[in-house]
Structure 1
Amino acid sequence: MASWKAKDSIVILGAGIIGLDVALVLVRKGLGPLITVVAEYLPGDTAPDYTSPWAGCNYSSISGSDANALRWDRLGYRHLLQLATQCSAESFVARTASTEIWDDVVPNDKIKIMSEYLENFSVMTPEQLPQGAAFGVTFNTITLHAPKHLQWLYTTLQAAGVTFVRRSVTDLPSAVSPDTKILFNCIGNAAMSFPGVKDAKCYPTRGQVLLVRAPGVKRNMMRYGNGYITYVIPRPLSNDQVILGGYLQKNVGDHATYDHETKDILKRTTALSTELASSNNGQGPEILGVASGLRPSREGGARVERTELVVGGKAIALVHNYGAGGTGYQAGYGMALDAVRKIEQMLPTQELTASL
């Protein structure tokens, strides 16, 4: 046990939702005082390269149909549902009625698995679908106030003994100390070019969103089409704020926002949501801000893999955990569980802090 007393025995590189979820899983094992999170940006910051604060964000069916994505979705939904039930106001996580619509047929396996665990899950009848739609479902989703949820995680982890260090690092070895035994690599989009990673499968997926005030919008709405996605996400505990989107522009790294995209988003979202169109006494949503974000995407899905990093002749367990694309908030906790399992046999068994 003595060799595990250093606060940076476990280092997490990156303080987006993926890195913070890894820290939360470890803290729930009582290991908070062993953890140091190293990141250039921390919760409360806004920067074009800090993706997590710009998320919608909700649980949705946007993820893939592969086994890992489906399993991470289930684990993430269970985690977020627990937060919505036990500490909604503190964590800025809430149950929200949802309708999701597709212009194309959805794989039966995916729908079957979703129906097994989503609250109040129901398949829409053909009469309930809008023109041009092939399939739709309703269920209880989970919505999050992304910036506030990040800050809640930040303070919760600090209270459990986690140390946060604001520092820009140039490569993986520069993130660790002589006491480090485990390094979690949660660097998101930086995985494309970061020395020691340089994952050619990674790419950014640009999206533009609008932050609006729209009293009366209570239902989460999503529509998936060929080359587009439209969404209306009421932001919980936010004085009637709603996130509207959006775009899925693969391999586009542009941080700018564009007026023609804003107009297109407004047109699509007001057509999708009658609540939105009738908000503010029929005047529609009041625009509070416009932002773009780059989802950290990866061909073949997210990478959760253990390798090894040798620094100064010493081997450090290296766990890569990145590439969630637009599913970081819903898949992140499941990914974190997998990432921690890969080094679980290394961890001390004696709890150092009370579990959360």
Structure 2
Amino acid sequence: MSCLTPKGEADVVILGAGIQGLAIATELTKRGVRVAIVARDLPEDVHSTAFASPWAGANWSPFEPSAATAQRDITTFNAFAQLSKEIPDLITRTEYLYYSIEDAPVDLWYKDIVFDYRPLKLSDLPPGMKSGVTFTSYTLNPPEYIGHLAKNLRAVGVPIIRARVSSLDEAYCLPSLGPVKLVVNATGLGSRTLLGVEDSLVHPVRGQTVLVRAPDVRACISIKRGLPKGQAAYIIPRPGPDGHLILGGTYLENQYSTLPDPSTGERILKTAYEICPALGDGKGWQNIDIISHNVGLRPARYGGIRLELEERKIGQGMEGRLGMLPAHVKEVIGQDVGVVHAYGIGPAGYQTSIGVGLEAADLVDKYLGRG
């Protein structure tokens, strides 16, 4: 009997338990779709460098958008307004201070979306800065937030299963779940090597940060213009009682190392202290209370996120390599299935997560005939 014939334990299998997979699962569950999540790394694996979600700065501060990405950002921003009331230790409204060391001023496309936007006076700027703006937006606590999403999903019966699959085809016939006709591919960097996907446009963007403790610093501060390519300078306070902040950073494409570079760590600390001496109580960058040095690999894609429905057949993309598939998958080669791809968001995972979740859920509804 075909593995796609019996009734399975889920309508949809989501590959990936990072912020994208969890956000999509949350929206599908609200719509009454039976979901199972399968991932190598689970939300509680907050020390794993194999996925990016625990290491993010996680603030709502979008990049230059297309029309589609702007709408995802705005949708997520509006949703954060309610969540900041429900879970203030995980998402909170935060003062932002953004500076430029160039003559060109900071000019943000979302200035009419955030709260309290205004230019800064020269007297309000740190030494060396030529312009700046301030506004109010949101910051998140990434490890706690993905844990919160996972807890809510498990509470309504969504299984989150630790398993490693080598091919997209395996996800349709997992022995622990039974058959499904639709998979959501939210594997991030895994989409570069996942058999049957193997998207060569997917690449890592290496981000190095320092987690510190400074309870009196609660503003999100960044230099937005004038830094050398590959460098970033930001201070992002994490909500919650611990007084933690993330200092960054780097934006290095196609670098895979997850070991912190000492000279980069020192540069991050020095720059952060220059724009916010309160980090070290005014006593020098060496006085900053360091908790850890970190590296995360942002799952980026040339051309931007792939968010689309693909109707395919079991074995598609595996021509000449079908012998690599497990025996129970080989039995159903050629059967019609679907996949919703949702990967390649790069550094924008949290700030677009709810918008992406809604769009991906719409694609699922379309395939299942629910739209």
TM-score by length of 1: 0.88
Q: Could you list the runs of 5+ residues in structure 2 that have no partner in the other structure?
A: 315-331
**One-letter code aligned to 1:136:** G
Q: Does 1:344 align with 2:342?
A: no
| Contact persistence 1:182–1:317 (CA under 8 A) | yes
Q: Give the Cα separation in 2 of the matches to 1:262 and 1:6.
A: 49
Q: Give the Cα separation in 1 of the matches to 2:284 and 2:272.
A: 17
Shift of 1:326: 0.8
> Percent identity, aligned pairs only?
31
Q: The residue matched to 1:117 in structure 2 has which SS?
A: coil
| Contact persistence 2:106–2:132 (CA under 8 A) | no
Q: The residue matched to 1:11 in structure 2 has which SS?
A: strand
Deviations 1:67-102 (A, max 9, x none): 22222211121122221122323xx11111111234
Report 1:21-36 matches (<5 A): 21-31=23-33, 34-36=34-36
Report 1:21-60 matches (<5 A): 21-31=23-33, 34-45=34-45, 46-60=47-61
Q: The residue matched to 1:148 in structure 2 has which SS?
A: helix
Q: The residue matched to 1:246 in structure 2 has which SS?
A: strand
Shift of 1:218: 0.8
Shift of 1:168: 0.3
Shift of 1:290: 0.8
Shift of 1:249: 0.8
Q: Does 1:272 align with 2:275?
A: yes
Deviations 1:52-77 (A, max 9, x none): 1111221123x233222222211121
Q: Give the Cα separation in 1 of the matches to 2:8 and 2:359.
A: 24
**One-letter code aligned to 1:205:** V
Q: The residue matched to 1:335 in structure 2 has which SS?
A: helix
Q: The residue matched to 1:37 in structure 2 has which SS?
A: strand
2:92 maps to which of 94, 116, 120: 94
Change (3 A) 1:82 1:259: same
Report 1:231-270 matches (<5 A): 231-270=234-273
Deviations 1:251-309 (A, max 9, x none): 11111112111110000101112432427999742111111110011112111111123
Shift of 1:250: 1.1
| Contact persistence 1:56–1:146 (CA under 8 A) | yes
Shift of 1:130: 4.7
Q: Give the Cα separation in 2 of the matches to 1:304 and 1:107.
A: 31
Deviations 1:87-127 (A, max 9, x none): 323xx11111111234465796xx34x12321222233455
**One-letter code aligned to 2:26:** L
**One-letter code aligned to 2:153:** L
- The equivalent of 1:353 in structure 2 is none
Aligned residues: 340
Shift of 1:232: 0.7
Report 1:285-324 matches (<5 A): 285-311=288-314, 312=332, 313-324=334-345
Deviations 1:16-75 (A, max 9, x none): 0010010111122133xx1010001101113221211111221123x2332222222111
Q: Give the Cα separation in 2 of the matches to 1:124 and 1:205.
A: 31
Aligned CA-pair RMSD: 2.5
| Contact persistence 1:14–1:39 (CA under 8 A) | yes
Q: Could you list the runs of 5+ residues in structure 1 that have no partner in the other structure?
A: 351-356
Q: Give the Cα separation in 2 of the matches to 1:202 and 1:282.
A: 36
Q: Give the Cα separation in 1 of the matches to 2:219 and 2:245.
A: 10
Q: Give the Cα separation in 1 of the matches to 2:338 and 2:285.
A: 57
Q: Give the Cα separation in 2 of the matches to 1:328 and 1:344.
A: 22
Larger Rg: 2
| Contact persistence 1:271–1:277 (CA under 8 A) | no
